[in-house]
Chain A
Amino acid sequence: MWILGPIGFTAPWVLLGLLALPILWLLLRAVPPAPIRRRFPGVALLLGLKDEEVEADRTPWWLLLLRMVAVAALILAFAGPVLNPRVERGGSSGPLLVLLDASWASAPDWSLRIGRVEQALDEAEADGRTVCILPATDLPTEGCTFLAPADWRPRLAGISPAPFEPDMEALSGVISVMPSAVETLWLSDGLARTGREDVLADLESLGPVSVFETPRDVMALGPLELTDTGISVPVLRADAGGDRDVVILAHGPDPAGVPRVLDRREVTFPGGETRVTVPFDLPPELRARVTRFEIEGQTSAGAKRLTDDSLKRREVGLVVVREGGEGLQLLSQLHYLRAALAGEADVIEGALPDLIMANPDVIVLADVAQLSGGEVADLLDWLNDGGMLLRFAGPNLAGSDVARDEDDPLMPVRLRAGGRTLGGAMSWGEPKRLRPFAETSPFYGLPVPEDVEINAQVMAQPDPELANRVIATLEDGTPLVTRKPVGQGQVVLFHVTANAEWSTLPLSGLFVEMLDRLAVTSRAAVLEVEDLAGQSLQPVRVMDGFGRLDEAAAMPPVAGEEFVTARASLATPPGLYQGRDSLRALNVMAADDTLAQMRWPNDVTLLGVEAGRERPLAPFLLTLALALLGADLLASLWLSGRLFGARALPILLCAMLIAPDAKAQELDDDFALRASSELALAYVETGDAALDRVSEAGLAGLSDVLTMRTSVEPAPPIGINLETDPLGFFPMLYWPVTASQPTPSAAAYTKLNAYLRTGGVILFDTRDADVAGFGAATPNGTKLQALAASLDIPALEQIPEDHVLNRAFYLLREFPGRHADGTLWVEAAPDSTRAEGMPFRNLNDNVTPVIIGGGDWASAWALDETGFPLLPVGRGLSGERQRELSYRFGVNLVIYVLTGNYKSDQVHVPALLDRLGQ
């Protein structure tokens, strides 16, 4: 190979042909263009006329140049040019180990890494070596197997970065059982990691090690911290180099529930710093909606930070009774509560019925004794759903008969009449202090200030249950705070007032801390073991290495104790976990984690990203030569005056065939007229010509059947290009799914969603006999999922027996197409009761926006020009029956699409008859 800059030639001797170009130039110049034969009656007058100059018209210089360039391109092409020729390395022959860190840090440039692996496979194939590809985060249990490079290629796509760090000890274990004399290519993610040196030493004992790293800076988000004004987000990076600007985004749903970027902050890493904190000043309402923070442009699990309930603030409802009376403000029952809750929780105030409607997390009843029966029932419902009722005693409660003789469902304990007063002028005792909290109490560990004195309280009736319900007592053992679970919620009673009248408790810091422990407020984002002890957390959504969230399908739950200390790993991937009463996030970076660059020893060969893969240029040059020769053909024809006329037509046609499909882009009136002057069934063009033909023939066949049997007489079907054609003219689109069809652009999806929201119906046909069961088992099923991901599709269900599709025209039980088992998925109907005396439910008029199945209906419907079926269906008579049923499905479908659910109105027939007096 002869290398010239970035281009090498495999057959450089052919380049000598370039020397012949000047000779060719002279030859071409000397030969005149071929004569044109013309019929011309005036030739009689021409006879005897001599040419004045003997020399003919020369070929124009630009045509000569064109031909020269074409010939030069041919010569260059046959010389075998190669871009970025691979320089021969010292070929070694032993087995090659390709070790991938495959952690989240390698996700941003994963394709680059896989490209490097492919290159290594190419080289190994050329050298006849065996290869083992070993992702450190996904170690094979059976050890490393060395296979031929061709065996690895199909598996490459299955290797993906994990959302956690590799386990270096396990890696050492795998490497220790490896045969000797193994050369290693280590695709490192560039992060320093304990144990990496040991692995390196192990590998170097086996053979030479070369390390591949990309220059990309690894960045991650640290644990979120709540501040007074919002959230601060620590950003970490591995390379403490120069200044670097990053943008942090806060993602979350907007009030309409559409995911958006709620806020963005730009921050600059000062040179030499690896950590910078980004403050997000968010109002509480906005803060509660943030679902994750991420570094813009970094697609890795580390650069995303999920938020959980620890960031959400509780909503507390204060029941206001006779506020604004004559009392002083400081004597108000709610004053200290408001002061304690300010900034810690979202406080709403109002009458009890209004508060229950608002469904807050906590409702505070400060010295409210009597509740109406309806209010009690509502409160109980709310408590059963997990609410927390916080009650304070007071003169009203002490004077009332509430929970006097029997258990009140809204009181934790029964109360003795009157209560007691301590340390007053009329009493013997001193004011009482608090006893330190017991271990079983949620207040355990809170320091008890000396200056908290209780002057008066309501007393609990002795009761067998009482001991279980007390969570705070006075020195003499009388209950101060009692608690009772109600359903999923709880009732807590402070046996003193919420103001400073009966005690100094509300004046102390202890009051705030007690409220905090009761989860009235939520300030502590740090998870304690006790918080989750005894719970099991079920993964809801988990992240992959690229930071994408997916449903956690059938993952085992994690014990709460483990979860608190858990790091992201294979068993506990980062994601969202549902605890008993809260949603918890597990993120890649734990507290105190830092990022640092790996410093490799000097004896390790460090490989950077090379310019690119070897790329033969001959095809491009040959194409260029062909195009130039084509241009020469046209130019020659033009020069000789034959370009226009009957002869040139085939040439122009060929040129148009070669040219890309130049379909008119603009919405022309013809299309609109064709589509809207008569009803036309439409199908989505998939780009697969054979399939599109079947779709068209299928809809044409269905149109014929509709014309014969119903009053629907459609025009010939129309193929829709989703990118260019308007959809609004069509009541229904037939969309056959192929694995190869292109995914529509964003603009097309906007159009499709508008179409679905304004009453359009799309029939998706995966044509796979529904073996996928609406899943990803077939390529078409996978493609359907990809296609429908951006569509605004409601919840779906398998078609129920009483769906209108079953009886829009024919009474049908099944919907076969070319495949007999045509299970359909339609929009899920809301829960509703079965109408009385009717075999169907009482449902609203609503046409499902999508119908999904795999029956391959168009093939069953398709007729050829002569009106005979295009494709066979089933066998014999049963096959014909199946085809008939598929036609009936088509008829039902079109009638359903056109008339909506009016058949559901039959449910009203008895009522109408009744009203008519019949």
Chain B
Amino acid sequence: MTQPSASAHKGPNHKGLRARAESLSAPLPPLQARAEQLARTLLMGGHGRRQSGMGDEFWQYRPAQAGDPGRAIDWRRSGRSDGHFVREKEWQAAQSVHLWVDLSASMGFSSDAKVPQKSDRAALLAMALSILLMKGGERVALASLGTPPRIGSLQIRRIAEGLAQSTDADYGAPDATLFLPNARAVFLSDFLGPIEAVEEAVAAASDRGISGMLYQILDPAEEAFPYRGRTVFTSMSGGIMHETLRASDLKTRYLERLAERKDRLSQIAHHAGWRFATHHTDHSDLTALLWLYEALEGPR
């Protein structure tokens, strides 16, 4: 009941190509628009490296020293005084960021009509982060597309298309094999699937000098487990099933397991020097984006 709308395109049906393409692209502009709106609230200009170097932005004037090429002298500044000045620009380094967004069926869950699906929140955050980073001059790639990090509106569009895809699998497993060395990585998922896959992916990434963060997105119902009575719980695709006669009895044990899972993720992140945080879909998307951005900006 809460499948993403774009999942309707599955199956090799060439006849409905155009219709499928349209249905596929339908969510793009709104997603992009929302993401841009979200990003704009955080946009604070180019990300200077706080040192002079290659870049477009002015950094400082310094007196010309021996060895400076003549064309480096800024004559306009020099004309106002006796000495010669060289105009230095700030060094702006382009960073590569890899985004892995869980597109599996479990992300399509939302417990209440007022709460967005987890996949929706994840896609929104990924898009907004992409836009923010590109505005800051960074190159971004979406892991599921398999393309190298790029910058530009075309890449934004491509990412948006990539985010509209979804897979049939119940739970997603991160794949870090194509990540560039020394890049940064962001994993957006509910991390409710097999934990080993996450551990392997993080280990493989950190081996190649990639630092990053695990960002867990959970529905409030997954955090509270507000169920009672005789219930059959199924996974989103129906592949996994668990029946209980009294759901209320399971609550404490489920919550223990969830805390255990978070602990484990936190440890994985800690060992790899990554960061880990949990976000709930009923909370503000802006705080989530702020955290992600700060975490990317933060320690280098």
Interface of A toward B, CB cutoff 8 Å: 32-47, 49, 51-57, 639-641
Contacts and interface: CB of A to CB of B under 8 A. Distances in A.
Given A44-B171, A45-B192, A52-B249, A39 B1 contact: yes
- 3 closest cross-chain pairs (CB), A and B: A41-B106, A56-B245, A35-B230
A38 B1 CA distance: 11
Contacts of A46: 233, 242, 244, 250, 254, 257
A392 to B, nearest CB: 104
B245 A53 contact: yes
Contacts of B242: 43, 46-47, 49
A457 to B, nearest CB: 114
A41 B191 CA distance: 10
A44 B240 contact: yes
Contact of B240 (A47, A55, A641): A47
B100 to A, nearest CB: 18
B245 A54 contact: yes
Contacts of B245: 32, 51, 53-57
The residue in B190, B233, B243 that gathers the most chain A C-beta atoms within 10 A of its C-beta is B233
A34 B229 CA distance: 9
Nearest to B106: A41
B109 interface: yes
Contacts of A47: 240, 242
A33 B246 CA distance: 11
Contacts of B2: 39
A40 B105 CA distance: 11
Interface of B: 1-2, 106-107, 109, 118, 170-171, 190, 192-193, 219, 221-222, 225, 227-236, 238, 240-246, 249-250, 253-254, 257-258, 261
A42 B192 contact: yes
Contacts of A37: 231-232, 234
A44 B221 CA distance: 14
A491 B63 CA distance: 144
A765 to B, nearest CB: 50
Given A40-B233, A42-B225, A45-B258, 14 more contacts: A35-B243, A39-B235, A39-B236, A39-B238, A40-B234, A41-B106, A41-B170, A41-B219, A42-B233, A46-B244, A46-B250, A49-B250, A51-B250, A54-B245
A36 B247 CA distance: 10
Contacts of B241: 43
Nearest to B195: A44
Nearest to A43: B233
23 contacts: A33-B229, A36-B232, A37-B231, A38-B234, A40-B234, A41-B109, A41-B118, A41-B236, A42-B222, A42-B225, A43-B233, A44-B170, A45-B192, A46-B244, A47-B240, A49-B244, A51-B249, A51-B250, A53-B245, A53-B246, A57-B229, A641-B228, A641-B229
A641 B219 CA distance: 19
Contacts, number: 108
Given A35-B243, A54-B245, A45 B261 contact: yes
The residue in A36, A38, A46 that gathers the most chain B C-beta atoms within 10 A of its C-beta is A46
Nearest to B257: A45
Contacts of A640: 229
B110 to A, nearest CB: 10
A53 B118 CA distance: 34
B230 A44 contact: no
Contacts of A641: 228-229
A38 B227 contact: yes
Main secondary structure of the interface of A (DSSP, over half): loop
Given A41-B236, A44-B240, A56-B246, A33 B258 contact: no
A56 B243 CA distance: 12
Contacts of B230: 32-36, 56-57
Contacts of B257: 45-46
Nearest to A36: B231
Nearest to B239: A43
A38 B258 contact: no
A37 B227 CA distance: 11
B285 to A, nearest CB: 20
A40 B109 contact: yes
Given A36-B229, A38-B227, A640-B229, A43 B246 contact: no
B113 to A, nearest CB: 9
Nearest to A41: B106
A38 B254 CA distance: 16
A57 B109 CA distance: 27
B232 to A, nearest CB: 5
Contacts of B171: 41, 44
Contacts of A39: 1-2, 109, 233-236, 238
A51 B253 CA distance: 11
A102 to B, nearest CB: 70
Nearest to B245: A56
Nearest to A57: B229
Contact of A41 (B190, B227, B232, B261): B190
Contacts of B193: 44
A51 B234 contact: no
A743 to B, nearest CB: 49
Contacts of A34: 230
B231 A42 contact: no
Nearest to B234: A39
A651 B294 CA distance: 50
Contacts of A51: 244-246, 249-250
A43 B235 contact: yes
A603 B244 CA distance: 81
Nearest to A645: B113
The residue in A33, A42, A45, A56 that gathers the most chain B C-beta atoms within 10 A of its C-beta is A42
Contacts of B249: 51-53
Given A51-B246, A53-B246, A57-B245, A41 B229 contact: no
Contacts of B233: 38-40, 42-43, 46
A57 B227 CA distance: 13
A41 B192 contact: yes
A443 B229 CA distance: 108
A43 B234 contact: yes
A33 to B, nearest CB: 6
B120 to A, nearest CB: 14
B58 to A, nearest CB: 51
Given A38-B234, A55-B245, A49 B254 contact: yes
A32 B171 CA distance: 33
A41 B222 contact: yes
B191 to A, nearest CB: 10
B278 to A, nearest CB: 13
A54 to B, nearest CB: 7
A57 B228 CA distance: 9
A37 B235 CA distance: 10
Contacts of B106: 41
A52 B250 CA distance: 9
Contacts of A54: 245
A53 to B, nearest CB: 7
Contacts of B107: 41
A38 B244 CA distance: 11
B254 A42 contact: yes
B54 to A, nearest CB: 46
B171 to A, nearest CB: 7
A639 B246 CA distance: 13
A737 B102 CA distance: 69
B168 to A, nearest CB: 14
A47 B106 CA distance: 16
Contacts of B228: 57, 641
Given A34-B230, A36-B232, A54-B245, A42 B250 contact: no
The residue in B227, B229, B232, B257 that gathers the most chain A C-beta atoms within 10 A of its C-beta is B229
B103 to A, nearest CB: 14
The residue in A33, A43, A54 that gathers the most chain B C-beta atoms within 10 A of its C-beta is A43
Contacts of A38: 227, 231-234
A42 B244 CA distance: 14
Nearest to A33: B230
A35 B231 contact: yes
